[in-house]
Structure 1
Amino acid sequence: MNPHFTYRDGVLHADDVSLMDLAAEVGTPFYCYSSAALEANYRAFADAFEGSDTGICYALKANSNLAVIRTLARLGAGADVVSEGEMRRALAGGVPADRIVFSGVGKTRGEMRSALEAGIFQLNVESIPELEALSEVATSIGRTAAIAIRVNPDVDAKTHAKIATGKKENKFGIDIDHARATYARAAELPGIEAVAVAVHIGSQLTSLEPFRDAFERVVELVHALRADGHDIQRLDLGGGLGILYRDEEVSALASYAGMVRSITGNLGCHVTLEPGRALVGNAGVLVSKVIFRKTGVHREFLIVDAAMNDLIRPSLYDAWHTILPVVEPNPDAPRSPIDVVGPVCESGDTFAVQRDLPHLDQEDLVAFLSAGAYGAVMASTYNTRPLVPEVLVSGAKHAVVRRRPTIEEMLAAERVPEWLDP
């Protein structure tokens, strides 16, 4: 059981706040994040690398709520961003510009300019056309861009195909065999200072071996680049460390840190790490209410008011989220298999198939665990369903950190052209 989401007096709590009370106040569905979990996860990372020249840049794509960013920024986190919007969120959340890394395969010239004008720590370049465009932007405003070139080491991350990023067939980075030529091109370009090598092979990795393979290849590259005359001062090792969703054997953070130190420790490089899911994944839950219990010909369905537009991971990745009743069931309560589905008009709107659960019925509340990463941030308004609220708890305190918009507000953002007026 996650220590930050526990039953107290028969009701599931986030820190010291009852999820039943929150549901009555803000309505369902809603996301809830535990400040204690966020802080514990960050401190575990920071402690594991204490004493080394390491920066921890939280990957905003996992959860970009401003309150989450501010919680981590106050602890010393930097930010890994992949758009100008995320960069602005990081700055608004209190992350200093010189602790922001801008990643991503498709930065626009406008985004490059904004990043350079903000004075961020580093841009991670992923292609020669991007490198040449960045040179033009930098020289046009009289700036020098400190960059890493992201290399693709052709390492199988052994994760879901849609979140693997380090194979030759993936769109990310420059093939490691072409890296020396790319750094040579960077050295020719004005406004470019290639100070780092970057790598990121995927997300939700539970074994250290893919990391080890990738990092060892990167260290070999650093030695070759230095021999070529490039002043490589930094390593960006990305993120990707997995969390426990079901019964995975997740590598211990201490083992990960020891592996990073042993492979990179003799280079004299500043190391940047970009955890996302590892910091926020198990710090959040999605709370939903049962609308109906439906008996079909071959199976039963639990229809809840959350849907694939609120939490798309099960539909997109066949992802598992543990489902708990908010009211604690009797330990010897019988369980039976049931499909947990949402109300969206798609067969893919399914959270769990034949999941063994205690009996649940209309108005009962359930919590989808480990929903703090890639939950609210990937949500949509499909079926004209309003985005769900997000709540942050801290001890016995709570705050709605993103409210649910009304349908009227959603409609007000659109316009009907005059030729369609009645």
Structure 2
Amino acid sequence: MSGFTSFTYQHGQLYAEAASLVDIAKEFGTPCYVYSRAALIAAYQEFDRAFADHDHLICYAVKANSNLAILNMLARLGSGFDIVSGGELLRVLKAGGDPRKIVFSGVGKNQDEMRAALAAGILCFNVESEMELLSLNQLAKEMNKVAPVSLRVNPDVDAKTHPYISTGLKENKFGIPMTEAERIYAAAHEFTHVHITGLDCHIGSQLTAIDPFIEASNKMLNLLDHLEKQGLHIEHLDLGGGLGIRYSQESPPSIKDYVTALCNSVGQRKQRILIEPGRSLIGNTGLLLTRVEYLKHAPHRNFAIVDAAMNDLMRPALYDAYHEILPVVKKPGDVNTYQVVGPVCETGDFIGHDRKLNLTKEDLLAVMSAGAYGMSMSSNYNTRPRAAEVMVDGDTAHLIRARETIEQLIASEKILD
């Protein structure tokens, strides 16, 4: 348990800040996501302090966790937001986010989404193709508006992360090729309803070394210098997100070291720096609380069947991702090696492989580092209602999303006559 966690053992029981996870399970049931307010505030403030006097905007990547209570807390701290859909735009606005601090990323923005963002008056569209730029210019013209634009450039940098979350290589779907960027920037200045404000890149997620960030930054700065020599004014430099967290044995840079390295690469340039952290803000501030339903001791493997499943936490099945699994109540006795699995009818439905645990039926387990891409990627597969979400503040646990019901899941469906 590293990074910005507020999860500690007290007298053999795991607590979130000063709230007992045993009590939270009794009150709200399982599976249940539990977040620490103090840990989230600490993570945001470390990002903010690391920039010192450099003009900056931290744009939280909403896709990591889009709960309204989390977005509202970040908005009150002064955060901006990186969105990738019209739905996320509405969430941020409903949560009290400032539209002038919103950047809209994503390769496939549809026209309704772009209209809504133009109407809201967002800070910037991170445009990912020439065709998108043309479409945005036309929509802005129809609405008698000027769209603020940053081109997302693909710097062809290997982020050395899982291939599914690598976004900065030339074979990835994201961004405009570096070789095309100058031409498109020059062309964009001829559009009547587009205003170029920034330069943007993002190379991937869960990066655990600084070098790829700096390689990408240096390529973007070289492009920036070329653009300015042509008389093209760039107001901000968006260097994306992607800083990793520790799930197991990873050793990612600290937030301070990461931000300091970015600022040093930018040097004396006056452009405002934008970054888009998601996982590094929220990942270690949350856990998934689950209960053991059954133990099955087979000749070759032991299974702990829990009430959380791949629909609740998709990362292990999707990425073969590792999450530490801790007993909520420590107890003496022999441990066994368990496959911690869920009740969904898929062999890929697992939470963790080969975990050494001392378990009995009804025991509570905490799946750690689950604040990012846990609830936001959850589904209703097997007609399973999505989990409750709880925010802990000191010794008080607040329900910030009620558990879904089966009735809610089927309410919009209709049987034909």
Pair in the same fold by TM > 0.5: yes
Counterpart in 2 of 1:372?
371
Give, as a single letter, the amino acid of the residue that structure 1 aligns with 2:387. V
**Aligned equivalent of 2:405:** 406
Aligned to 2:55: 53
Measured in 2, the distance between the counterparts of 1:6 and 1:329 equals: 16
Identify which of 169, 183, 186 aligns with 2:185.
Answer: 183
Hey, what's the Cα distance between the residues in 2 that align with 1:355 and 1:328? 15
> 2: CA distance between counterparts of 1:304 and 1:374?
20
Where in structure 1 are there 5+ consecutive unaligned residues?
Answer: none
> Which residue matches 1:85?
87
Q: Structure 2: which 5+ runs fail to align?
A: none
Q: Aligned ranges for residues 91-240 of structure 1 at < 5 Å?
A: 91-240=93-242
Specify the code of the residue in structure 1 equivalent to 2:277.
P
* 1:343 corresponding residue in structure 2: 343
When the two chains are superposed, the root-mean-square deviation of aligned CA atoms in Å is 1.0
Paired residues for 1:245-324 under 5 Å: 245-324=247-326
Q: What residue in structure 2 maps to residue 417 of structure 1? A: 416
Q: Distance in 1 between matches of 2:309 and 2:14?
A: 21
Equivalent position of 1:382 in the other structure: 381
Letter in 2 for 1:343: P
**TM-aligned CA deviation for residue 337 of structure 1:** 1.6
Instruction: State how far apart, in whole Å, the 2-side matches of 1:85 and 1:235 are.
Output: 26
Q: Deviations over 1:244-267 (max 9, x none)?
A: 100111112222122111111322
Corresponding residue for residue 391 of structure 2: 392
CA distance in structure 1 between the aligned counterparts of 2:181 and 2:209, rounded to whole angstroms: 26
Q: Which residue of 2 is the match for residue 352 of structure 1?
A: 352
Shift of residue 398 of structure 1?
Answer: 1.5
CA contact (8 A) 2:335 2:359 kept: no
Specify which of 35, 55, 70 is matched with residue 72 of structure 2.
Answer: 70
Q: Distance in 2 between matches of 1:97 and 1:20?
A: 40
What one-letter code is carried by the residue in structure 1 that aligns with 2:88? E
Counterpart code for 1:198: D
Q: Separation in 2 of the partners of 1:351 and 1:365?
A: 14
- State how far apart, in whole Å, the 2-side matches of 1:156 and 1:108 are: 29
Q: What SS does the aligned partner of 2:138 have?
A: helix
Aligned partner of 1:10 in structure 2 is 12
What number of residue pairs does the alignment pair up? Answer: 415
Q: Distance in 2 between matches of 1:52 and 1:228?
A: 25
Q: Secondary structure at the match of 1:52?
A: coil
Q: TM-score, normalised by structure 2?
A: 0.98
Q: Is the 8 A contact 2:296 2:304 kept in 1?
A: yes
State how far apart, in whole Å, the 2-side matches of 1:78 and 1:195 are: 16
**177-186 vs 334-343, which moves further:** 334-343
- Which shifted more, 395-404 or 29-38? 395-404
Alpha-carbon distance between aligned partners in 1 of 2:362 and 2:321, rounded to the nearest angstrom: 25
| Distance across 1 between alignment mates of 2:396 and 2:27 | 13
Q: Could you tell me which amino acid in structure 1 is paired with residue 79 of structure 2?
A: A
Shift of the alpha carbon at 1:228? 1.8
CA separation in 1, counterparts of 2:105 and 2:9?
Answer: 40
Q: Distance in 1 between matches of 2:407 and 2:196?
A: 50
Identity of aligned residues (%): 49
Measure the CA separation in 2 of the matches of 1:9 and 1:325. Answer: 13
Partners of 2:307 and 2:131 lie apart in 1 by 46
Q: TM-score, normalised by structure 1?
A: 0.97
Q: Secondary structure at the match of 2:408?
A: helix
1:362 equivalent in alignment to 2:364: no
Deviation at 1:335, TM superposition (A): 3.0
For residue 144 of structure 1, report the CA deviation from its aligned partner. 0.6
1:50 Cα deviation (Å)?
2.2
| Residue identity opposite 2:345 in structure 1 | C
The SS at the match of 1:257 is helix
C-alpha distance in 2 between matches for 1:116 and 1:276: 24
Separation in structure 2 between the aligned mates of residue 382 and residue 27 of structure 1, nearest angstrom: 20
Q: CA deviation at 1:103?
A: 0.6
Residue 273 of structure 1: how far off its partner (Å): 0.8
1:11-61 C-alpha deviation (Å, 9 max, x unpaired): 111111111111111111000010011001001101111211010011100
CA distance in 2, matches of 1:39, 1:210: 27
Q: Deviations over 1:212-264 (max 9, x none)?
A: 10000000000011112211111011100001100111112222122111111
Task: Indicate conservation of the 8 Å contact 2:386/2:403, yes or no.
Answer: yes
Runs of 4 or more consecutive aligned structure 1 residues displaced over 6 Å after TM superposition = none
Higher alpha-carbon deviation: 260-269 or 126-135: 260-269
2:189 is paired with a residue whose SS is helix
Offset, 1:329: 3.2
Q: CA deviation at 1:281?
A: 0.1
SS of 1:182's partner is helix
| Mapped partners of 1:105, 1:393: distance in 2 | 36
